[in-house]
Amino acid sequence: MSMSYMPLELQKKWRSVALLSIAQIFALSLWFSATALIPALKEEFTIGDFHASLFSSSVAIGFVIGTFISALFSIADRFPPKQIFTISVLVASLSNISILLLDPLSNTVILLRLVTGVSMLGIYPIGMKMIATWARNDAGTLVGLLVGALTLGSALPHLLNLVNIDWLDWRFTLVGSSSLAFLSSIIIQFVDLGHPIPKAPPFKVTLALEGWKDKAIRYANFGYFGHMWELYAMWAWIGIFLLESFRTSGEENPGILANILTFTTIGIGAAGSLVSGKLADRYGRTTVTMAAMMTSGSCALLIGLFFGAHPVFLTIICVIWGISVIADSAQFSTCVIELSPPNMIGTMLTIQTCTGFLISLVTIHLIPVFVSNFGWEVAFMSLAIGPFLGTYAMGRLRGHPKALLMAGGHR
What does the domain layout of the chain look like in residue ranges?
7-409
pLDDT single digits (tens) 366-386: 998 999 999 999 999 999 999
CB 259 within 8 A of CB 165: no
**How high is the pLDDT of residue 4?**
54
**How high is the pLDDT of residue 51?**
75
* Angle, CA 235 vertex, CA 231 and CA 237 arms, to 5°: 120
pLDDT single digits (tens) 86-142: 999 999 999 989 988 888 778 898 899 899 989 888 888 888 888 888 877 777 788
Average pLDDT, the chain: 84
**How high is the pLDDT of residue 202?**
58
**How high is the pLDDT of residue 168?**
56
**How high is the pLDDT of residue 10?**
78
**How high is the pLDDT of residue 93?**
94
* Angle, CA 139 vertex, CA 137 and CA 140 arms, to 5°: 115
- Backbone φ and ψ for 166, nearest 5 degrees, come out as -55, -45
**How high is the pLDDT of residue 282?**
87
Within a 10 A sphere around the Cβ of 155, how many other Cβ atoms? 26
Into which CATH architecture does domain 7-409 fall? Up-down Bundle (1.20)
Q: In whole angstroms, how far apart are CA 298 and each of 16, 377, 383, 385?
A: 37, 14, 10, 10
One-letter identity of residue 303: I
Question: Which residues in the chain land under pLDDT 50?
Answer: 1
Please state the three-class secondary structure of the chain as a single string: CCHHHCCHHHHHHHHHHHHHHHHHHHHHCCCCCCHHHHHHHHHHCCCCHHHHHHHHHHHHHHHHHHHHHHHHHCHHHHCCHHHHHHHHHHHHHHHHHHHHHCCCCCHHHHHHHHHHHHHHHHCHHHHHHHHHCCCCCCHHHHHHHHHHHHHHHHHHHHHHCCCCCCCCCCHHHHHHHHHHHHHHHHHHHHCCCCCCCCCCCCCCHHHHHHHHHCHHHHHHHHHHHHHHHHHHHHHHHHHHHHHHHHHHCCCCCHHHHHHHHHHHHHHCHHHHHHHHHHHHHHHCHHHHHHHHHHHHHHHHHHHHHHCCCCHHHHHHHHHHHHHHHHHCHHHHHHHHHHHCCHHHHHHHHHHHHHHHHHHHHHHHHHHHHHHHHHCHHHHHHHHHHHHHHHHHHHHHHHCCHHHHHCHHHCC
Report the predicted TM-score, pTM, of the whole model to 2 decimal places: 0.77
**How high is the pLDDT of residue 411?**
65
- Backbone φ and ψ for 224, nearest 5 degrees, come out as -65, -40
